[in-house]
Amino acid sequence: MTAALSDVTILAQSPPKTERPFFSICIPQYNRTSFLLEACKSIAEQSFRSFEICISDDRSTDGREPELINYLESARVDFTYARQNTNRRYDGNLRGSIALARGEYLFLLGNDDRLESPETLGHIHAELQQNAPVHVAIANYRELGTGRTFLRIPHSGILGEGPDAAVLNFRNFSFVSGVIFQTEAARRWTTTRWDGSEMYQMFIGCRILAAGGRLAGLHEICIGKDIQIPAETVDSYATRKISKQNFAPVSLPMAQIAPLVTDAVAPFVTPARREAINIDIGIQLLVFTYAFWLFELRRVQSWKYAASVYCGLGPKHILAGISPSALGRARLTSVWLAVGLAGLLTPVVFFDLLRPWFYRLAKRT
């Protein structure tokens, strides 16, 4: 923890009201101050009061730090607000917010998401106590803009442990809000190895599970995703227009997911099992994740850009660090080709009609 704290400067901190809160709400922040203020308001109104707010700012440029600090002080909540000494981007910034935590559990929250109701933390506390010991927990969410709910977790209770649980659930860590880690378990596996993947929480979650940690599901909707503020939007893949002049492969952070998850479980499985796991992870990504994103990128960007991304997400990336059998490589390549044909040639109008269903499929366990 000391090394991570040396990367940040604490700008403001409340006197702690409790020796150790139950939850540390860990929020990586960069420039979305209006949205973060709304997120903090949803935390401040919680009926369950054993929490602190830990914000790591990745050197925001909007000049609104005093406004945010003033709100936190006036809300009379336990908080620590720190700024990264250098711009570390998402993974390092999330790790920075975790380094600030004193709580028993780390509750990860995006800076443009909110807690669903004033009873959310109380409900989660009761579930964690009822299912103890819990090392990882994942909650469901709804989109605030559309009202649609997304059930990445099928039911409440213990869902498993060990490498198989990690491989079955790794995609449920892709949306950071509502992911909860036991603090000591998360800090045990702190690493900079996957910085740039934008999936630090996925590595930590899978490593904790693979090492024998227990996963709890929280079926109740606990998170409101994408806070809506009139006349303000957040920067995203959908709002940026990308000009693509050729078909050179484009490498996105999601290309690192398969090797990241394989690395997370590798110390706890045999080399032979590692290959089978890698193929399983790759097929899940192709069928449930890549297919959705091909349609989505065609919808908001262009066919040429989607095709370039597809070329950059080929089997060689999924198999990074693995020497598969000929059969394993053939299986993965055949699924990749089928996904490409479907994702690049099916008319986008069908995707627009079925987009909610495709999104649920992409999040399916």
pLDDT of residue 363: 56
pLDDT of residue 253: 87
Question: Taking phi first (over 0 means left), then psi (-120 to 50 degrees means alpha), and beta for anything else, what does residue 31 get?
Answer: left
**Total tally of structural domains belonging to the chain:** 2
pLDDT band at 165 (very low <50, low <70, confident <90, very high): very high
> Please, what is the average pLDDT of the chain?
90
Q: Same structural domain for residues 285 and 197?
A: no
What pLDDT, in 10s, does the model give residues 265-320?
Answer: 999 999 888 888 888 998 998 988 888 889 889 988 889 999 999 988 888 887 77
pLDDT band at 55 (very low <50, low <70, confident <90, very high): very high
233 belongs to a structural domain: no
Q: Same structural domain for residues 132 and 188?
A: yes
Q: Same structural domain for residues 270 and 324?
A: yes
Q: Same structural domain for residues 274 and 156?
A: no
For residue 37, what are the domain limits?
2-225
pLDDT of residue 4: 67
Share of the chain above pLDDT 70, in %: 93
Q: Same structural domain for residues 205 and 300?
A: no
CA dist 106 and 54 (Å) reads: 10
Q: Same structural domain for residues 267 and 221?
A: no
What pLDDT, in 10s, does the model give residues 62-111?
Answer: 999 999 999 999 999 999 999 999 999 999 999 999 999 999 999 999 99
The answer to whether 2 touches 197, Cβ cutoff 8 Å, is: no
Could you tell me the CA-to-CA distances from 172 to 139, 263, 270 in Å, in that order?
A: 9, 17, 25
237 belongs to a structural domain: no
- Paired with 107 in beta bridges are 25, 180
pTM for the structure as a whole: 0.91
- Last residue of a domain, which of 188, 205, 225? 225
232 belongs to a structural domain: no
> Could you write out the three-class secondary structure of the chain?
CHHHHCCEEEEEECCCCCCCCCEEEEEEECCCHHHHHHHHHHHHCCCCCCEEEEEEECCCCCCCHHHHHHHHHHHCCCEEEEEECCCCHHHHHHHHHHHCCCCCEEEECCCCCEECCCCHHHHHHHHHHHCCCCCEEEEEEEECCCCCEECCCCCCEEEEECHHHHHHHHHHHCCCCCEEEEHHHHHHCCCCCCCCCCCHHHHHHHHHHHCCCEEEEEEEEEEEECCCECCECCCCCCCCCCCCCCCCCCCCHHHHHHHHHHHHHHHHCCHHHHHHHHHHHHHHHHHHHHHHHHHHHHHHCCHHHHHHHHHHCCHHHHCCCCCCCHHHHHHHHHHHHHHHHHHHHCCHHHHHHHHHHHHHHHCCC
CATH number at residue 16: 3.90.550.10
219, pLDDT greater than 50: yes
